[in-house]
Amino acid sequence: MAFVQLEGLGSEKGEFVFDWDQVNEQRPEWNARWNRSIER
């Protein structure tokens, strides 16, 4: 998962913090999937 939901910070909706190391690790796969869907 590329983000973590934080609880108990006073926000009723919850807070999300991106794990940028995880995002950057998965970016090539996401880009390839996006490009395949666009090419159709």
Answer whether 19's CB lies under 8 Å from 4's CB.
yes
How much is the pLDDT for 6? Answer: 56
DSSP state of 12: S
Check: CB of residue 16 under 8 Å from CB of residue 4. yes
pLDDT, position 40: 74
The per-residue pLDDT for 12 is 58
pTM above 0.75, yes or no: no
Q: How far apart are CA 26 and CA 17, in angstroms?
A: 16
Give per-residue pLDDT as tens, 7-37: 555 555 656 677 888 888 889 999 999 999 9
Alpha-carbon span 1 to 16, nearest angstrom: 12
pLDDT for 10 = 54
